[in-house]
Chain A
Amino acid sequence: MTENPARTMDEPVEDVLRAELARGDAAAETVLPILRHLVTNADGTIFSEEILARVRSMLEHLVRQVLDVAAGAGEGGQREHEPGALDALEQAFVNNPALLSHLHALALEWQLTERLEGRLALDPVSPPLLQELLASSAPETQGLAMKFLASQARWCQAQRRMELPLRELPMELLHLAFLACRTLDLTEAYDGQTAAAEAVRSRFEEGGSRNGLAGRLIARMGADGVQALSICHAGVALFLTALAQRSGQTREAATLCLNDVQAARLALALRAAGVEAAGIEQQFFVLHPDIALPQGLDRVRPERAATILASGRGSPP
């Protein structure tokens, strides 16, 4: 039943019941497809309890931050919010596929980061590649590496607390978040939202976020960026950024292809990024020691690999 007091107050009970009923029906329709997926998908990684809990928690944190800003508390301020406003905005965020898949990818990335830390003693914050970059003789590279290290440390701490600071969102998602808040027209308490949101957006510097810094760092490495395609050397964060950049995928898609059932996509992505067959085998040995690669990967040229990847669904172009 509804737990949304803001709505029950100004809507007649029938409308509320009808809306609830529609919501219930929609949920019931999705039961079977979801169940079918969970039953047949032996590898439960991408929908594990942990991942779901992490996505939920990050969502809630984002909702609170957006409402804080809209209520004029500024970033970092904390306020009490109407449960109605919280629910409505959270629903809007869930209905936004771009935002949801971004959070899902972050949760998967952190899970892998923690696993590799436990299994391979891979430092989540300063992996070997980053330590090399920190010791670089080029001051710009060194400065960038230092900034990335600081933001990666902050990100890890936030992930451990299952949070995601607003400033870590990509620009277009931040925009969508505030747009949702405005569209919902959340009560008078959030009057000042436009000005406040503008203030946050104007201070926003995408290149300063963790993903932004990782992107700049990999781009600055140029051809040497291929070094980042060894996950044990580069760490999960830089590996994913490099894989995305060099195989022409979004970072979210690159993250998803580390999942067991996406082995073909990972092999193609690595090949498209310019990794030799031996290198691909090494990455598979780290990530999926039980999966054998098909012979002759070398014969698939990187450009061809990129084409297959882009055409999606494996069908010939």
Chain B
Amino acid sequence: MGAPGRGAASEGRGTVLARAVTDGDDRLLSAEEPLAGLQSRAGGEVPGVVMVPELLEIVRQVRQRRLPLGRAIWAQDGAEMITAWVEVEPRTDAEGCSVVLRSWRAVATAAEDAHAALERRNRLDRQVAELTARLDADQRILTVESECAELDLLTSAMATGRGRIVTEFIAAGGHDPARPLHWRLLDDARIKVEGSPREWRVVVIPQGRPGYEPSSFELLLVSDEPPGGLPHPEHGAGGAEGLGSQHLVGQDLAPVLRRPIARIVANAETIRTRLAGPLPDAYADYAAEIANAGRLLLGLLEDLADMEVVESEGFSTAPDNIDLAEVARQAAGILNVRAREKGIEIDAPSAAESLPAVAEFRRVLQVLINLIGNAIRYSPENSRIWIRLDSAGDCARVTVADQGPGLSDSDQGLIFEKFERLGRSGDGGSGLGLYISRRLARAMGGELSVESAKGQGARFVLEVPAGSHD
């Protein structure tokens, strides 16, 4: 088998639990579990900036100094404390790093009592508040302070309205604004503020002796969304993709669903691995099924969000001079662990090979991961998958060939359709991968096609415009 992706030389012996790749802006381009799960539970995305603080620090240092580094990291993951050992080294092909996860240990953290939790919430809210105000015992405004330009209108209105009741300025739906609302009802209310596209959360912290009526209040406005102007890693570069409201799944649904589903998967994994205590085998198996179902949902969610993007009007990619051989080696490296679980060998291009092309690295990687993932899923155990490169005139081609059951002519016509599963079920596919991959290939000025015969394995061919050797 060929070189299994980047960093093969120094990976040496020892266990590799997962790999991840980052780019020149410390964004996680790809990550295997459990790193991917940790990233999403930390509020991040793949691709997206590394959200685990200690990992981000290491990745940044390695990228800047271009020296490899091995280090233990600690991270809080919901109710668990994660201790992990990672080895990070600079990529030779591009800016950024490749990350290898060597060990992973999760320990349940002690539950926090309600008072401490409230204290912590208050601390966090004060830290991130973009408007702070003081109210007297009757909720009249004493002072207001904000440096957020989006809140300028509200801030100046409140400043001139000093001495008036705060609900005149901060409307909590369906309430007479001239009368104070009980502070507990105002606390945690979601509001819209004129001049700001974001949703805001009202935080009211009472002051005074416990058991007595509060003597004054602290009022904060906090938003869970970052201030405007930050490009979304997925949608930023394309520009034309920013047709916001059309992306129901990607922008509205996925961010809301991702976290709870990830939680389900993580908890099910905890049960399955018996981290929380001994358990009969049958229950551990159920937990494994729950975790798998959750992963399927997560995968489907990502695919739906991707589909939305590639289907949107004005979708375009950002072509660059890339080396198809390098993309193929990375894709193979990322999926190597999964392949080995089934005893499958991936025969990737050797380190000496190169094939210049003009395409977007990330998108080609996405297509290849999809093709190789499919090949692993549908190939028999102990088989082989080949990744071959060739050029034909102004085309550069990557072929992914497997020893699976193959496809009949009629199936070949159907397989690139949306939600086409060819009658399969229960294998973790969403029926969107190939559809998205073909859209991506075409958006890059190329094509994705299949050659196969029933019982002869399948050969998927990705074509993109050729680049020049220089």
Contacts and interface: CB of A to CB of B under 8 A. Distances in A.
Whether A associates with B in a native complex is yes
Contact of A160 (B127, B147, B208): B127
Contact of B132 (A121, A126, A134, A153): A153
A136 interface: no
A38 to B, nearest CB: 27
A250 interface: no
Contact of A153 (B127, B134, B208, B209): B134
Interface string B121-148: 0010011010010101000001101010
A76 B148 CA distance: 12
B223 interface: no
Interface string B208-233: 11100001101000000000000000
A195 to B, nearest CB: 25
Interface in B258-314: none
A123 B134 CA distance: 11
Nearest to A128: B215
B121 to A, nearest CB: 14
A161 B207 CA distance: 20
B209 A149 contact: no
B126 A123 contact: no
A178 to B, nearest CB: 24
B215 A126 contact: yes
B118 to A, nearest CB: 12
Contacts of B147: 76
B126 A149 contact: no
A150 B136 CA distance: 13
Nearest to B163: A146
Contact of A121 (B126, B136, B209, B218): B209
A157 B126 contact: yes
Contact of A123 (B145, B210, B216): B216
B216 A125 contact: yes
Contact of A126 (B123, B129, B216): B216
A153 B145 contact: yes
Contacts of B123: 160
Given A125-B207, A126-B207, A160-B126, A154 B142 contact: no
A143 B142 CA distance: 12
Nearest to B128: A161
Contacts of A121: 207-210
Interface residues of A, number: 16
A153 B215 contact: no
Contacts of B129: 157
Interface string A136-163: 0000000000100110011001001100
Interface in A17-76: 76
A146 B140 CA distance: 13
A157 B215 contact: no
A131 B215 contact: yes
Interface in B63-86: none
Interface string B153-189: 0000000000000000000000000000000000000
A153 B216 CA distance: 12
B127 A126 contact: no
Contacts of B126: 157, 160
A161 B124 CA distance: 10
A149 B134 contact: yes
A134 B218 CA distance: 17
Nearest to B210: A121
Max chain B CB contacts within 10 Å: which of A76, A134, A146, A150?
Answer: A150
Nearest to A131: B215
Given A123-B216, A146-B142, A157 B209 contact: no
B143 A149 contact: yes
A253 B127 CA distance: 30
B67 to A, nearest CB: 15
B139 to A, nearest CB: 14
Contacts of B132: 153, 157
Contacts of B208: 121, 123
A288 to B, nearest CB: 22
A146 B145 CA distance: 14
A271 B1 CA distance: 86
Nearest to A150: B143
Given A157-B126, A160-B126, A161-B127, A125 B145 contact: no
Interface of B: 123, 126-127, 129, 132, 134, 136, 142-143, 145, 147, 207-210, 215-216, 218
29 contacts: A121-B207, A121-B209, A121-B210, A123-B207, A125-B207, A125-B216, A125-B218, A126-B136, A126-B207, A131-B215, A131-B216, A134-B136, A134-B142, A146-B142, A146-B143, A149-B134, A149-B142, A150-B134, A150-B142, A150-B143, A150-B145, A153-B132, A153-B134, A153-B145, A157-B129, A157-B132, A157-B145, A160-B127, A161-B127
Interface of A: 76, 121, 123, 125-126, 128, 131, 134, 146, 149-150, 153-154, 157, 160-161
The 9 closest A-B pairs by CB, nearest first: A150-B143, A123-B207, A121-B209, A126-B216, A153-B134, A160-B126, A153-B143, A157-B132, A125-B134
Given A121-B207, A123-B215, A126-B134, 16 more contacts: A76-B147, A121-B208, A125-B207, A126-B136, A126-B142, A126-B215, A149-B134, A150-B142, A150-B143, A150-B145, A153-B132, A153-B143, A153-B145, A154-B145, A157-B132, A157-B145
